[in-house]
Amino acid sequence: MLIGYFRNCPGCEVPAAAQRRALAEAGCDQVVEEWSGLEHGDEQPELHGLLARLLPGDVVMVPHLDSLGRSLPKLVQYVQRLTEAGIGLRSLAEAFDAPARLRAVETVAVAGQGGSQGADSHRRGAGGRPPKLSPDEQSDIVESVLSGRHTAAAMAKHYQVSPATISRLLAAQLADPAAPAPSRPAIGDGVAADRIVGVLPLSALEERLAIVGTSGSGKTYAAKGLIERVMAGGGRVCVVDPLGVWWGLARGADGAPPPFPVAVFGGTHADVLLSPGMGAALGRLVGTQPMACVVDVSGFGSAAALRGFMTAFTEALYAVNTEPLHLVLDEADLWAPQRTQPDGLDLLGRVEEIVRRGRVRGFVPWLITQRPAVLHKDVLSQADILVSMKLTSSQDRAAIGRWIEGQADRTEGRRILAALPQLRRGEGWVWAPGDGVLARVAFPRILTLDSSQTPRREARPGAAGLLATVDAPALGRALAGLAADGSEEQTEGLNDPPV
Ligand SMILES: Nc1ncnc2c1ncn2[C@@H]1O[C@H](COP(=O)(O)OP(=O)(O)OP(=O)(O)O)[C@@H](O)[C@H]1O
Ligand SMILES: [Mg+2]
């Protein structure tokens, strides 16, 4: 049985669909795909499963020897395990072909063979145990096989040694870090430093982005990491934050000094206080100043107050802004819902204007939503890049389904959509049609303070626990006091031990 195996890694130069197709076209009865490059390590559970169930005589085919393990020791370990188990190994990129033990060596296809028959015959003539390979011959074998000039089978024939000897030689060579790197294609080496989350070119930061995913899946966190990259490049940024979770952008993580100068307008960590009537003024300020800022509207209370502020803010901002500005709308469906109330039509129009026609005025809109099905489709459809974190609802997955068209074949698209509910916090699929990217990635740690953490009891030592007893009269007095004047002092004493 011929089994294809490849690793679907973030940054792989060759897309998963192409690797799968190449293996299928090479005659694999079955293709097994491994996820790798995520923060959970590089354990290759699928490969372990394969090793457990394959039988001597089976052959594993990989697009590239790197598919077997990112580190050289791992690669060597797997090559040896396959060889010892009598399982053959073929690589498409290196024309590597170590046949399974049960296969007759003579039946192995020898592609690209260039060795002379004379060299074969001088060894064959000796009979018995084949002579040891000289250092020059060993180098010739390694260089020939890894460069793809000759197959392992061809070199085994040429030097009259067993294919297992060739694999051992190759494995030993690859395990030696002092050995000069053979010239070979770089499939799997694609997580480059000049790429964002390993897969996107830096220019992707200048594109319109939508980040979708369920609550707590890591949307805000991922957007913060990307916005840090924008600020590191000196970009102007304005984040509209209806939940009060972005103020940490103005602080350093773990008590470190703030890495970026970010002004916080409004909210409980305000540098500058904000009221619902200041929308137009703030729009003019943000549109004309070279600054990064968070506009925290979480304290505005009513939906009408929020909409009134945002309508005036976006109108003034659109009117005066002329320089590049990243405008991040967290919970974007609040401002551009698919089902808009009459008093929200004006705001929807403003947001749509910025997203559709704002490019010439410098706008780079980034939209974040838990519910892509609820965000207005004319707004969502304008995004150049879509990032989907964990997504469970079928309507929301359907809303992003069309993004996959043109990026993957139908079967793969369906498979990706079906797998979205299983994504872990901080993991997402990135679709960037313009850059030809469709990849699963893990978003890295941010430099600024993580101010959107889910509160945990054990993380708040000293925080009040449950009331020791239910003191109904005291609760009644506290409620009456709060109802009368909104004073929180009335709650004092509720946690006092009973006398
Ligand atoms: N890539 C990541 N690495 C480490 N921690 C993460 C990552 N993504 C998310 N987290 C953790 O999960 C928390 C919640 O993530 P985040 O605030 O981004 O969720 P969200 O998708 O925006 O949710 P909501 O829709 O409720 O706003 C973060 O504050 C952070 O502590
Ligand atoms: Mg969020």
285/120: higher pLDDT: 285
Residue 464 has pLDDT above 70, yes or no: no
In testing the pocket of ligand 1, which one of 391, 424, 425 has its CB within 8 Å of the most ligand atoms?
A: 425
**40-49: pLDDT as tens digits:** 455 677 887 7
Judging by DSSP bridges, how do beta strands 59-62 and 292-296 pair with one another? unpaired
Distance 16 CA to ligand 1 centre (A): 27
Which residues are registered as beta bridge partners of 4? Answer: 31, 61
DSSP designation for 279: H
Distance 450 CA to ligand 1 centre (A): 8
Ligand 2 being an ion, which residues bring their Cβ within 5 A of it?
Answer: 220
Q: Name which of 140, 176, 172 is nearest 156 in CA terms.
A: 140
Question: What is the CA angle 172-175-177, rounded to 5?
Answer: 125
Q: Using CA positions, which residue lies closest to atom 9 of ligand 1?
A: 218
Residue 448 has pLDDT above 70, yes or no: yes
DSSP-based three-state secondary structure for 129: coil
Could you tell me the domains of the chain?
A: 2-174 (3.40.50.1390), 191-491 (3.40.50.300)
Q: Name which of 74, 30, 81, 65 is nearest 188 in CA terms.
A: 65
Residue whose pair of structure tokens reads 């046949």 in the numeric block: 99
Distance 336 CA to ligand 1 centre (A): 23
Which ligand has the shortest distance to the CA of 370? 1
Highest mean pLDDT, choosing among 174-183, 434-443, 449-458 = 434-443
Say which residues have a Cβ less than 8 Å from residue 284's Cβ, sequence separation at least 6.
Answer: 316, 317, 319, 320
In testing the pocket of ligand 1, which one of 220, 328, 453 has its CB within 8 Å of the most ligand atoms?
A: 220
Contact 93, 18 (CB under 8 A): no
Q: Give me the helices (H) in 205-344, please.
A: 219-232, 279-288, 303-320
Q: How far apart are CA 123 and CA 116, in angstroms?
A: 12
94/14: higher pLDDT: 14
Q: Dihedral through CA 22, CA 405, CA 364, CA 10, nearest 10?
A: -30
Residue 327 has pLDDT above 90, yes or no: yes
Q: Give me the helices (H) in 370-453, please.
A: 377-380, 394-404, 410-419
Percent helix, percent strand, percent coil in the chain, to nearest 5? 40, 15, 40
363/106: higher pLDDT: 363
* This prediction's pTM: 0.63
Would you state the pLDDT for residue 216? 96
Would you state the pLDDT for residue 117? 31
Enter the tokens of residue 336.
């551009």
**185-239: pLDDT as tens digits:** 222 333 345 678 878 888 999 999 999 999 999 999 999 999 999 998 899 999 9
Distance 319 CA to ligand 2 centre (A): 28
Distance 410 CA to ligand 2 centre (A): 31
Q: What percent of the chain has pLDDT over 90?
A: 39
Would you state the pLDDT for residue 126? 36
Contact 273, 281 (CB under 8 A): no
Which ligand has the shortest distance to the CA of 456? 1
Give how far Cα 46 sits from Cα of 16, 31, 188, 360, 423, Å: 15, 11, 17, 49, 18
Q: Using CA positions, which residue lies closest to atom 26 of ligand 1?
A: 215
Give how far Cα 53 sits from Cα of 36, 50, 90, 264, Å: 21, 5, 18, 58
- Report residues whose beta carbon is within 6 angstroms of any ligand 1 atom: 213, 215-221, 370, 425-426, 443, 445, 450, 452-454
Reported as half-sphere exposure (CB side, CA atoms, 13 A), residue 28 has a value of 25
DSSP designation for 460: S
Question: What is the CA angle 95-84-133, rounded to 5?
Answer: 60
Q: Using CA positions, which residue lies closest to atom 15 of ligand 1?
A: 218
Q: How far apart are CA 324 and CA 364, in angstroms?
A: 7
Would you state the pLDDT for residue 43? 67
**How far from each other are the two terminal CA atoms of the chain, in whole angstroms?**
79
Enter the tokens of residue 23.
């293996």
In testing the pocket of ligand 1, which one of 197, 221, 445, 448 has its CB within 8 Å of the most ligand atoms?
A: 221
Average pLDDT, the chain: 80
Neighbours of 466 (CB within 10 A): 7
How large is the angle between the packed helices 72-84 and 163-175, nearest 10 degrees?
160
Q: Give the lowest-confidence range in 180-184, 190-194, 357-361, 378-382.
A: 180-184
DSSP designation for 110: -
Contact 410, 417 (CB under 8 A): no
The radius of gyration computed from the CA coordinates of the chain, to the nearest angstrom, equals: 30
Q: How far apart are CA 6 and CA 34, in angstroms?
A: 6
Say which residues have a Cβ less than 8 Å from residue 465's Cβ, sequence separation at least 6.
Answer: none
Q: In 18-57, which positions are buried (b, 16+ CB within 10 angstroms) versus exposed (e)? A: ebbebbeeeebeebebbbbbbeeeeebebbeebeeebeee
**Which atom, in ligand 1's list, is nearest to the CA of 452?**
29
Residue 294 has pLDDT above 90, yes or no: yes
